[in-house]
Amino acid sequence: MIGKSEGIVVRTTDYGEANKVLTVYTREAGKIAIMARGAKKSKSRFTAVAQLFTHGYFLYQAGSGMGSLQQGDLLRSFRTIREDLTKTAYAVYLCEFLDRMTEDREPNSYLFDTLLLALTSIDEGKDIEIIARLFEMKLLQSTGYRPRLDACVNCGAVNVPFFFSIREGGFLCHNCASRDPHTIPTGPGAVKVLQYLSHMHMNQLGSINVKPETKEQLRRVMHTFLDEYTGIRLKSRKFLEQLEKMAPLIEDKPRQQES
């Protein structure tokens, strides 16, 4: 049976000397594995569509197991992402996160659109950390993990100072914070952004200015929640953390050379 799907390559694996196995998240068929024979050869007709992040149409021989790529039509390569180390690291993280959180052959057009819009936003230079936090939120919500962010999970209080409780799965107000001795402090900015992200979609993301300390709180809340409730450990996230630690050194290096 021949299948044709619009998809994004979220993982590539070398197979033998010349072939690649592509993990493609598609709009029509969900996550599928396709063998791209000869894709590692420079003159292969599959080279362009066998790259990570590639968005295109994939015509493949489908069966009960792995498919075989017959034709690929490139829609967007996201080449500018691959030319920037930080953008690449974040895009790899989003793709690996989606790959690990979804099952094979379970179509979800919303997640496909969310990934495509996230990659497009990275490509356009929007705030890369906010894109990552929004993508995390949407993927969690879509797969059944929904932190409560509209009110205190215990008493229902709103519009008050909040702490985030991993154990309780959402915000605790000041009066209820004693229920969890391990709450994560969240300032008003972090609370507002988390609530904003929980209700918006990727196509609504515009320009947003978030302070570095607020971004750090957002990252800690989301990553701690992910660790607790999903149990997955991503190699790409470890690389991102290393990259973030190196960033000040990279930024200071030109100044040191000038002096």
* Alpha-carbon span 225 to 218, nearest angstrom: 11
Cα gap 47→50, rounded to integer Å: 5
Structure tokens at 78: 């996201």
User: What tens digit of pLDDT does each residue of 116-174 get?
Assistant: 999 999 999 999 999 999 999 999 999 999 899 999 999 999 999 999 999 999 999 99
Residues of the chain with CATH 1.20.1440.120: 126-241
pLDDT (0 to 100) of residue 124: 95
- At 250, the pLDDT band (50, 70, 90 cuts) reads low
DSSP string for residues in 14-74: EETTTEEEEEEEETTTEEEEEEETTTTSTT-TTTGGGSTT-EEEEEEE--SS-EEEEEEEE
What span, in angstroms and rounded, lies between the C-alpha atoms of 157 and 150?
A: 9
Longest CA–CA span in the chain (Å) reads 66
Helix, strand or coil for residue 152? coil
**pLDDT for residue 258 is more than 80:** no
What pLDDT shows up at residue 211? 96
pLDDT for position 256: 46
pLDDT band at 197 (very low <50, low <70, confident <90, very high): very high
Q: What is the tens place of the pLDDT at every residue in 202-238?
A: 999 988 899 999 999 999 999 999 999 999 999 999 9
Question: Which residue would you say has higher pLDDT here, 250 or 258?
Answer: 250
60-109: pLDDT as tens digits:
998 888 999 999 999 999 999 999 999 999 999 999 999 999 999 999 99
Q: Which strands, in side-by-side order, build the sheet including 170-173?
A: 170-173, 162-165, 184-185
Q: In the predicted model, is pLDDT for residue 196 greater than 70?
A: yes
pTM score, whole prediction: 0.93
Residues of the chain with CATH 2.40.50.140: 2-77
Q: What is the assigned CATH class of domain 126-241?
A: mainly alpha
Task: Give the C-alpha separation, 140 to 142, whole Å.
Answer: 5
CATH of domain 2-77: 2.40.50.140
Per-residue pLDDT at 26: 98
Residue 78 Ramachandran class (φ > 0 left, ψ -120 to 50 alpha, else beta) = left
Please measure the distance between the N-terminal and C-terminal CA atoms of the chain and give it in whole angstroms.
65
Distance CA(243)–CA(238), nearest Å, equals 9
Output 246 or 90, whichever has higher pLDDT. 90
